[in-house]
Every structure is written in C-alpha cells, then in structure tokens.
C-alpha cells in the first residue's frame, strides 16, 4: 500500500521554472501567455504574425493557410524565400564574425567556424553543385558523418533549391540504395570514412556497394576526405570534395523558391512496407525550427547550444543545420560518441565549450547514468541553463538524475515530443514558463492543437485513460506528403478519422492538469535507442536470408536502449542453433545497420496466427517480455505454439 502511495506521489512531483532562470530569460512568462492567447484567438493570424516576424521573405506572402485540398495543406504559398539566406546571409552584417559552429571531432580536434566562413563555404559548395549540373528540384543524397560539411552540403542544396535526403551514416548499403532509388537522386555526397569512438566507419565502401547494386539515377559522387583511408575513386563518376570546390567563388545568389518548395526528404520507418520519404516544405518548416528554438530553449544571442543528435535524423536537421543557424546562434557539433575516450566526454565538452543549452536522447542519459556519478562530478557544468531530451519517453528516474547530476537542480528539464513528420517540437515545456513533471512532455506549444481521441473519435477526458494522440489543426511545419506516395500520406496520417485530424501513431494520456504523457507507438514500430524502426523492415531482412521461412519481430523493454528487438524465426528446415542465431543477427545488421540488430532470436515451428492469417504480434510481445499470457488465445489457429515459444525463451 505505502508503495502505491509513494509512486503516486512521485508522479506528482512538479518543478516550477527556476526563478533565476526566468529572470534572465528572453521570453518572459507574460510573453508566453500572450503567445498562447494569440494562437487560441486566431490560429492562422498567429502563424502569419510569427512568419512575418521570424523569416526574411524575398516576396512577402498574402495567403496564410490553404486547406482546400486537405490533408494536402499549404502555408504561406504565395511567399518566396531562401532557407540558406535566412540561416546565413541575414546574419552577416550584424554577426558575421560570430561563431556559428564549434566543431569537435572524434579525436578531440576543435574547429571554430564563423557565420562569414560558413556562408562562404556554403556558397562555394553550392557553386560546385551547380557546376555539376544540379539545380532546383534535383534530389541529392547526403551520406556523411556528423561533421560541418554535412550542414554545408544541406545548406548548399537549400541555396540552389535542390532537395536533400540525408541518410544516417550508420545505415547499410541496402538501406542507402533503397533511399537513393526511391528519391531518384542525381548526386550522392559521402566521405571516404570517419572515426567514431576510435573505430573506422568505411562510408565510401558501403556507398560503393549500394551504387553497384542499383542507384541508376546517380550521376556524380562527391567524396569528402575525412579518414584518409584509401577509398576507391571511380573515374568519371567520383570526385573529391576539395576538387569540387576548388576555385569556386564564395558568393552564390540564392535561388528564391516558393514557401511550399520541398526543402528535404527524410526517410523514416513505417509499420509496413518500405521506409516513407517524409517531405518537408521551405517556409513552414523553417518557421517551426526558429520558433521552437526561441520558445522552448529560450535560445538567445549569448547561448552556446548543443544538440547531440546526428544530422542523419530529423533532430539534427531541425536543431543543428536549420534552427540554431536561422536564429544566429552559436552551436557545438560533435562527431563522436558519449563514452569515448571516457564516459565523461559530454560533460568535459560542456565545460570546455561553455555550453548553456544541452539537448540529448534519453538512451544516452540512461547509458551515462549507468556509468556512475563520478563522471559528471569531475566537471563544473555551471554554464548549463537548459537541459532537453528527445526521441523516446524518458523514465522518471533518468529524468531526476539528469536534473540533479547534470542540471544541479538549477536547469529546467525539457522533454520534447515530436516526430520526423511534425518537423519540430509539438508537445513540450517552454523553459521559462511551463512547470515540468518527470516523464511528461507537458503541453502543446502555442498554435499546436493536440488532443487524445478514442476509437470513435471522441476526446478522451478521463485522466486515467489512454487514447490516440492527434493534431486537430494543421500547423506550418508539418510534413506535406510522402515522397512519390500521396495516397500513403493520406492513409497513414489522416486515414483514421478525417482529413483534418493528423494521427501521430502514438498513444497518450493526459493528467488532471492537462499534461500529456506519451505512452508509445500504436503501430508496429519499435524505438531502439531513440531510433524508429519498422518491425516489418527487420522481418523482411530476416526472410531475405536463405535459411529463414518466416519471421516476426517485436520489442521488449531494455534499460538503456529503451526497447530491444526480439525476433521469432521459422526456418525452412529444422536445426536452429546458436551459430545460426548469431549469423542471423549479423545478417540483419548488415542489411539494415547495427541499430536494427536483434538482441535475441528465438526459433520456433510456427508463429501464433489468427484464423485470417495475421500474426498476433501483441501476443509475441507478451512472450518476449516473459510476461504471463492473459490474452484470449481462442481465436488462434495454433494455440499450442505459445507453450513452445515460451519454453524456448527460458
């Protein structure tokens, strides 16, 4: 009984924004009240005002929202701008010499890049792209390490109106090939390799493998020399980055594009089929990046911002390449890993670069928490003002550790809920304003209409009841479509209720104060170390192995990674062995990348299926977690299989 009360009390811990923080903040509580009020009074007028205030338009817009073809929404459609101009040129006069990027390599080497220098590099690279025949609307795949050149390549694409699709450097040749093919990219930008945690990642080798198995659309490959690891260069197709920019002028007139012109495609896992190319706009997306940096983090001119994500994920797009630069801020960019050379790398870097806003993933916090308090205790950490998290639910224990050990109880903890599709923060505390609660992403931002619905579409009002998380109004920085597949866009995000109700794919719950708690995915997607993976993709990879007849993939909780992958595998012939299990794990890692590697493979004679042939994944999840099966198994075609699956896990 006392345990129960205590856990209830624990969930009720509420932390007001620290007074000292609020006093120095740019955005005061009254300002935030005004934002919430303006947004509630006039949704479109509010966003129009924000867009006029924060974006430098080449042609000002007259139209705000066009919802005549819902769910294909358009924002600021008759306005024209250039995103790279907003991130670079407009700062040159006021803060040209200000440091834009403090880059720290895996080996500890540090480079400071000013706005003037970043602008020059982007212009030179944009001119190099033009020399290679690229222009507005062309797709460019970027497969680079987390180095400034990745941001330069992205901004250079934006400058000439080309559409980038960044593929995370940890993805395999097959994943890279599929993404290149789906986007019909004309160019690939990669590196020979790089070091992460002291280990060589041979990017060009992987890229060559991808290129040898498809990728017919690729005409040119630009290769950054980062590891000096004797990468193969194919005459006529490949060229070194340094040669491509050699002699290029450091000015490049921006291509003015419509606000709705696609800025990028970023592939993300869906529950079924191939990854979805999430397509974002130029104007609306940029607005989301700017507003959320300013509101949520209180990002100002004197801050040093550090988002530890990789540019290969949406977090790196919005909170490295676009948001901080559009705000004219100074940021840290890091190539390495938190535990190399020692588990205090993050904290050592926070002190060294005097980081004031730090944004990372719960999985990193849990991993570092496990290493012990001695590592953060070695460092002062007194430059920190705001601490953020993203990517998955953060458990209250990790939240409290983050607050105590890293924030010294002085920094607001900002648990930001959003998605590749939403473009930027959606449900999150505002540092100077929102009382926070461990494990809760708190409230929707001004101009964001979040709700929780039951299956019939009625709002869930009971605080103890979960439901489907939805957005009931469009917002400027939402995705515009799925590349090449508008029908899938409609079905996936607007298929459950109506064309104005965006379904996020997560379930959520709201407490008596109206704070949201995200419960997890409602579809078959697992979240490993903050990375979304479709169980379908892992299953397809397994089935592609010659020994495998059928596979079903589920997750179980993992104390560091959040979730771990468990695969149930049916072989073509008998004889599941330890050796084959390990071969299959490596096989998946090769096909999809190391993050998709199953923690466990369980062989069985069959999978639990309904009579209509659907695999009962919910049941498998119960088995994988070692929980007692309480579900009704009477609809199963082969109920005896459950005993076998359970026994094999013991």
Residues comprising the chain, all counted: 650
Q: Which is nearer to ligand WTA, 276 or 545 (CB)?
A: 276
Q: Rounded to the nearest whole angstrom, what is the least distance from the CB of residue 424 to ligand WTA in the complex?
A: 9
Assign residue 214 a region (left: φ > 0; alpha: ψ between -120 and 50; beta: otherwise).
Answer: left
CA within 13 Å, CB half, 492: 25
Q: Rounded to the nearest whole angstrom, what is the least distance from the CB of residue 281 to ligand WTA in the complex?
A: 17
Q: Which is nearer to ligand WTA, 239 or 471 (CB)?
A: 471
Q: Which is nearer to ligand WTA, 155 or 278 (CB)?
A: 278
Near ligand WTA in 448-477, by CB under 6 A = none
Angle at 263 between CA 257 and CA 266, to 5 degrees: 165
Q: Which is nearer to ligand WTA, 81 or 311 (CB)?
A: 311
Q: Rounded to the nearest whole angstrom, what is the least distance from the CB of residue 302 to ligand WTA in the complex?
A: 27
- Span interacting with ligand WTA, options 87-95, 121-129, 445-453, 502-510, rule CB under 6 A: 502-510
Residue 15 to residue 5: CA distance in whole angstroms: 19
Q: Which is nearer to ligand WTA, 79 or 412 (CB)?
A: 412
Near ligand WTA in 580-609, by CB under 6 A = none
Q: Which is nearer to ligand WTA, 278 or 607 (CB)?
A: 278
Q: Which is nearer to ligand WTA, 50 or 419 (CB)?
A: 419
Q: Rounded to the nearest whole angstrom, what is the least distance from the CB of residue 371 to ligand WTA in the complex?
A: 23
Q: Rounded to the nearest whole angstrom, what is the least distance from the CB of residue 434 to ligand WTA in the complex?
A: 14
Near ligand WTA in 402-441, by CB under 6 A = 415-420, 441
Q: Rounded to the nearest whole angstrom, what is the least distance from the CB of residue 331 to ligand WTA in the complex?
A: 18
C-alpha dist (Å) from residue 571 to 246, 546, 553, 603, 622 = 55, 9, 15, 7, 22
Binding residues with ligand WTA: total (CB under 6 A): 22
- Span interacting with ligand WTA, options 38-46, 385-393, 479-487, 584-592, rule CB under 6 A: 385-393
Strands 357-360 and 386-390: parallel
Beta bridge partners of 334: 104
- Span interacting with ligand WTA, options 205-213, 307-315, 608-616, 623-631, rule CB under 6 A: 307-315
Q: Which is nearer to ligand WTA, 80 or 363 (CB)?
A: 363
Near ligand WTA in 506-565, by CB under 6 A = 506, 518, 521, 527, 532
| Under rule CB under 6 A, residue 268 binds ligand WTA | yes
Q: Rounded to the nearest whole angstrom, what is the least distance from the CB of residue 594 to ligand WTA in the complex?
A: 17
Residue 529 to residue 591: CA distance in whole angstroms: 18
Which residue do the tokens 């869930």 mark?
Answer: 460
C-alpha dist (Å) from residue 596 to 142, 516, 535, 540 = 21, 29, 9, 12
- Span interacting with ligand WTA, options 173-181, 472-480, 486-494, 499-507, rule CB under 6 A: 499-507
Near ligand WTA in 309-338, by CB under 6 A = 313-315
Residue 474 to residue 73: CA distance in whole angstroms: 7
Q: Rounded to the nearest whole angstrom, what is the least distance from the CB of residue 138 to ligand WTA in the complex?
A: 25
C-alpha dist (Å) from residue 262 to 138, 157, 280 = 10, 11, 6
Residue 603 to residue 471: CA distance in whole angstroms: 41
Q: Is residue 479 within 8 Å of residue 257, measured between CB atoms?
A: no
Q: Which is nearer to ligand WTA, 330 or 416 (CB)?
A: 416
Nearest to 33 by CA among 432, 415, 385: 432
Q: Rounded to the nearest whole angstrom, what is the least distance from the CB of residue 392 to ligand WTA in the complex?
A: 5
Q: Look at residue 131 and give its three-state secondary structure.
A: helix
Residue 8 belongs to what H/E stretch?
A: helix 2-11
Q: Which is nearer to ligand WTA, 353 or 532 (CB)?
A: 532
Q: Rounded to the nearest whole angstrom, what is the least distance from the CB of residue 54 to ligand WTA in the complex?
A: 21
Q: Which is nearer to ligand WTA, 142 or 504 (CB)?
A: 504
Q: Look at residue 138 and give its three-state secondary structure.
A: coil
Reading the block at residue 336, the tokens are 């390495």
| DSSP-H helix ranges across 414-564 | 486-494, 535-543
Residue 319 to residue 410: CA distance in whole angstroms: 23
Strands (E), 156-271: 163-166, 187-191, 194-196, 199-201, 220-224, 238-240, 257-258, 264-268
Which residues contribute to the site for ligand WTA (CB under 6 A)?
A: 268, 313-315, 390-393, 415-420, 441, 504-506, 518, 521, 527, 532
């Amino acid at each position: 009984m006392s345990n129960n009360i205590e856990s209830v009390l624990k969930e009720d811990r509420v932390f007001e924004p620290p007074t000292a923080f609020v006093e120095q903040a740019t955005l005061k509580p009254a300002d935030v009240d005004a934002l919430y009020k303006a947004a509630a009074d006039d949704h479109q007028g509010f966003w129009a005002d924000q867009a006029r205030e924060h974006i430098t338009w080449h042609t000002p817009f007259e139209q705000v929202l066009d919802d005549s073809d819902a769910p294909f929404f358009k924002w600021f459609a008759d306005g024209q701008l250039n995103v790279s101009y907003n991130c670079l040129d407009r700062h040159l006069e006021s803060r040209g010499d200000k440091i834009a990027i403090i880059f720290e390599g895996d080996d500890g080497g540090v480079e400071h890049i000013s706005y003037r220098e970043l602008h020059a590099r982007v212009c030179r690279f944009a001119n190099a792209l033009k020399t290679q025949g690229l222009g507005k609307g062309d797709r460019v795949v970027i497969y680079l390490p987390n180095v400034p050149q990745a941001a330069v390549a992205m901004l250079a694409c934006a400058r000439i109106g080309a559409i980038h699709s960044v593929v995370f450097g940890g993805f395999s040749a097959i994943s890279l090939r599929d993404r290149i093919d789906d986007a019909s990219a004309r160019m690939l930008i990669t590196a020979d390799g790089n070091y992460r945690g002291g280990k060589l990642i041979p990017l060009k080798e992987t890229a060559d493998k991808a290129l040898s198995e498809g990728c017919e659309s690729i005409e040119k490959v630009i290769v950054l020399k980062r590891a000096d690891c004797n990468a193969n260069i194919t005459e006529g197709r490949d060229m070194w980055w340094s040669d491509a920019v050699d002699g290029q002028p450091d000015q490049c007139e921006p291509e003015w594009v419509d606000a709705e012109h696609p800025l990028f495609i970023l592939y993300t896992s869906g529950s079924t089929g191939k990854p979805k190319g999430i397509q974002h706009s130029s104007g609306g997306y940029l607005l989301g990046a700017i507003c959320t940096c300013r509101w949520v983090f209180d990002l100002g001119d004197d801050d040093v911002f550090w988002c530890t994500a990789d540019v290969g994920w949406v977090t790196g797009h919005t909170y490295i390449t676009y948001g901080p630069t559009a705000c004219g801020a100074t940021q840290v960019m890091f190539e390495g890993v938190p535990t190399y050379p020692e588990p205090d790398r993050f904290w050592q870097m926070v002190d060294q670069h005097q980081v004031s806003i730090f944004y990372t993933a719960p999985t990193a916090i849990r991993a570092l928490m496990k290493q012990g308090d001695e590592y953060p205790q070695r460092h002062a950490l007194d430059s920190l003002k705001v601490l953020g998290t993203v990517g998955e639910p953060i458990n209250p224990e990790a939240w409290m550790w983050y607050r105590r050990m890293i924030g010294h109880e002085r920094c607001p903890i900002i648990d930001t809920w959003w998605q590749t599709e939403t473009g930027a923060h959606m449900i999150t505390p505002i540092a100077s304003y929102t009382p926070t609660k461990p494990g809760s992403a708190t409230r929707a931002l001004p101009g964001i209409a979040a709700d929780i619905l039951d299956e019939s579409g009625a709002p869930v009002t009971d605080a103890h009841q979960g439901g489907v998380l939805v957005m009931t109004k469009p917002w400027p920085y939402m995705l515009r479509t799925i590349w090449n597949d508008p029908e899938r866009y409609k079905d996936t995000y607007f298929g459950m209720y109506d064309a104005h109700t965006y379904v996020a794919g997560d379930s959520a719950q709201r407490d008596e104060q109206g704070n949201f708690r995200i419960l997890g995915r409602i579809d078959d997607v697992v979240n490993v170390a903050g990375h979304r993976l479709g169980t379908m993709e892992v299953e397809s990879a397994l089935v592609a192995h010659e020994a495998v007849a059928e596979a079903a993939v589920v997750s179980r909780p993992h104390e560091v990674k959040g979730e771990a992958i468990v695969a149930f595998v049916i072989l073509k012939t008998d004889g599941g062995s330890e050796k084959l299990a390990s071969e299959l794990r490596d096989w998946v890692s090769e096909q999809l990348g190391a993050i998709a590697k199953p923690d466990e493979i369980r062989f069985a004679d069959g999978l639990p299926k309904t009579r209509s042939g659907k695999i009962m994944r919910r049941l498998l999840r119960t088995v994988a977690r070692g929980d007692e099966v309480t579900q009704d198994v009477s609809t199963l075609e082969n109920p005896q299989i459950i005993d076998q699956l359970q026994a094999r896990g013991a």
